[in-house]
Structure formats: structure tokens, C-alpha cells
Amino acid sequence: MDKELLHQTILAELNALRQDAINAAMQAYNTATHAENVADNKYDTLGLEASYLAQGQAKRVANCEANLAIFARLKITHFTSQTAISLGALIYLMDDKGSEQVLFLAPVSGGVKINFSGLNITLITPSAPLGKKLMGCYVDDKIEIELTGQKNHYDITAIY
């Protein structure tokens, strides 16, 4: 597993998300400042609503930039079956039904999904319930987690 290339692929995806946020912020800003959105009377709130949206989109851009900077500083670590799971681990899980999922334990951007070398990889963070359970575990450990009122069981089949 080429973890350096995986790291670059994740950075590229986070950069693409940042660019999407910038585009949305610019569109919201343009809408908020457009001459047609000047209030005609005290009940006309379209311009005000657009400015709130622009402010929210600007915060989203700042969050994306912060996540990108944090992830860029993540040290690339190569794990073995004798290494405990920590930040930077690529984890293979198998559920009770034989379904496999691949997770990357990242400091930020939980929920982001990428495709890398034919694998669908989901970023999770240590603050997520599954991330908390995985921290410190090893290959062949079994974990149980309750999500949406249902108990799920997983076997850790590989760590890279």
C-alpha cells in the first residue's frame, strides 16, 4: 500500500472540497451584493438572507482550509499487524455479514469518501464513535459498537 500516494489523494480531495466551498461562497456573495437584491421595503429580506448565506459559506471555506492544513501536517505512518491503531492508520473491517469496509483514521474531515486503487475509503476521526472504539486496537481484534440503536460487530482484518 502506497500510503504517500494515498495521503496525496486525500489532500487532493480535501482541496477539491475547499474549491467547491470557495465557489459556493463566491456565488452567495454575488447574490448578496447584486443590485436586484436591495430591499424595496422592510419586508423584503432576500438580500439579508443572501448575506447570511454568504457568511455561512465563508465559514465553510475557513473550515475547509483549516482541515486541509491539519491533514497536510499528518505524519505518514506505516502500520503492521503488531502496531496499535492510531492516526494515519488504514483499517480494514469485516462485519458479521461478511461485508468489508476500509477506513482511514484522520485528524479531520470525517465522512469524506475517496476512491483509491479500486478501494472505497471513508475518513473517520478519533472523535467518532467508531474511531474511538478503533483507537489502540490491533489486527484480529473484535469490536462492538451501537449505532442508531443497533449493535454492530466488526473484525479488524488488516491495518496499513
Beta strands in 85-134 (DSSP E): 90-95, 100-105, 113-116, 119-124
Phi and psi at residue 86, to the nearest 5°: -150, -175
Give, rounded to a whole angstrom, the gap between the first and last alpha carbons of the chain: 7
Average pLDDT taken over every residue of the chain: 90
| Residue (of 136, 127, 155, 112) closest to 6 by Cα position | 112
70/52 Cα distance (integer angstroms)? 27
Q: Could you identify the residue written with the cell 457568511?
A: 55
Q: Under the phi-then-psi rule, with left for phi > 0, alpha for psi from -120 to 50, and beta for the rest, what region is 54?
A: alpha
The model's confidence at residue 142, banded by pLDDT at 50, 70 and 90, is: very high
Q: 2-16, 41-55, 93-107, 131-145: which has the minimum mean pLDDT?
A: 41-55
The model's confidence at residue 28, banded by pLDDT at 50, 70 and 90, is: confident
Cβ proximity of 28 and 53 under 8 Å: yes
**pLDDT at 149 (0 to 100):** 87
Show contacts of 51-56: CB within 8 Å, 24+ apart: 53/28, 54/25, 54/28, 54/29, 56/28
Summarised one tens digit per residue, pLDDT across range 74-109 is: 999 999 999 999 999 999 999 999 999 999 999 999
Question: Looking at residues 48-55, what average pLDDT do you find?
Answer: 75
The model's confidence at residue 147, banded by pLDDT at 50, 70 and 90, is: confident
The pTM for the full model equals 0.85
Q: 9-18, 30-39, 113-122, 127-136: which has the minimum mean pLDDT?
A: 30-39
Quickly count: other Cβ atoms within 10 Å of residue 67's Cβ.
19
* Residue 159 predicted with pLDDT over 90: yes
